[in-house]
Amino acid sequence: MRRFSYSRPTEVSEALAEAGGEDVRFLAGGTNLVDLMKENVERPQHLVDITRLPLDRIEEIQSGLKIGALVLNSDLAHDPKVENRYPLLSLALLNGASPQLRNSATTGGNLLQRTRCYYFYDVATACNKRDPGAGCQAIGGLTRLHAILGASPHCIATHPSDMCVAMAALDAVVHVESATGTRTIPFEDFHRLPGDTPQRDTTLEPGELVTAVELPATRFDRHYTYLKLRDRQSYAFALVSVAAAMRLEDGVMTDVRLALGGVAHKPWRDRDAEALLSGKAPERALFSKAAEAILADAQGQGANDFKIELARRAIVRGLDQAARGTPQSVTDKRIA
């Protein structure tokens, strides 16, 4: 880790005034950034500690729920407003990391966490995400955890967040602020596919700070699930995860939501597959058709070929759990 300067502003305007330059990073819980600094993957010259900014509230607003960027993952998961109105998000959060990490990690930091690709973390290997133009040593290498959708010849890394998969399904909106003003970003536009610029994880511009995430008033508090499949049942990143939610009216699915984690550079949502399900009765044969549609362009790298079939089965299982109103238990690790 190289030497860096440090400041701790108390107002958003002060933090933004210090945010200019590529070698400046905002620091909140630090559960990802500090690790990256220790490994010399991130080497900022200056850290702006934002933990004293007034961004740690969960507020009911007319359009839904506004979650401050500094709300801790544990507080968000157990907030009664979230548990009652957005239990899918609570379930996803409780499937992420460990209790100790959830007590430190923030909502904004969770949005911005970087891939856990082995090659990204190992500075002795070639990685276009870490060093643009260096090549991608993951391709042809150890790919068990890597992408099967939306990858490019420049990067096959996956996004690691559980929270973000649920937020993608819930149509969240990200609020950001910079020295020049504020803007909102629909959640599905916030994270990027790698393309030929895999070093850019999000559509944030330099100097922008995530201040809040807004959830719409739409409730999915009965028919939902977050199904996470991983190598071990505790403290592991998803091989495949499924966030599914829907409404059932007179035995017919309406407003179906479906997002996948562990399969792409960003939370993966396929609105065409959702439309295929909407207006129809919940049947496993139909769920299988939706899974086939989502995975039509899936491509493995050899060691992760199994993820295509795993994702297919997970989608069917997740939709079935949501339709039956039997969300996957956090404490009982057997798949429902």
Quote the DSSP letter at residue 202. Answer: B
Is 209 buried (19+), middle (13-18) or exposed (0-12) by CB count in 10 A?
A: buried
Q: Sorting pLDDT into bands at 50, 70 and 90, what band is 1? A: confident
Whether the pLDDT of residue 323 is over 80: the answer is yes
CA distances from 93 to 73, 78, 82 (A): 7, 9, 11
Question: CATH classification of 5-51, choosing from 3.30.56.10, 3.30.43.10, 3.40.50.10540, 3.90.420.10?
Answer: 3.30.43.10
Whether the pLDDT of residue 333 is over 80: the answer is no
Percentage of the residues of the chain whose pLDDT score is greater than 90: 94
Answer for the pair 140, 125: CB distance below 8 angstroms, yes or no.
Answer: no
Instruction: Note the CATH number of domain 225-324.
Output: 3.30.390.50
Nearest-angstrom CA–CA distance, 40 and 23 = 13
| Terminal CA-CA length for the chain | 45
pLDDT digits (tens, 9 = 90+) for 209-256: 999 999 999 989 999 999 999 998 888 999 999 999 999 999 999 999
Answer for the pair 73, 67: CB distance below 8 angstroms, yes or no.
Answer: no
192, 198, 204, 209 alpha-carbon torsion, rounded to 10° = 120
**What's residue 96's pLDDT?**
94
**What's residue 331's pLDDT?**
85
The domain spans of the chain are 5-51, 225-324
**What's residue 22's pLDDT?**
74
pLDDT digits (tens, 9 = 90+) for 70-87: 999 999 999 999 999 999
**34 contacts: CB under 8 Å, gap ≥ 6:** 27
Topology agreement, domain 5-51 and domain 225-324 = no
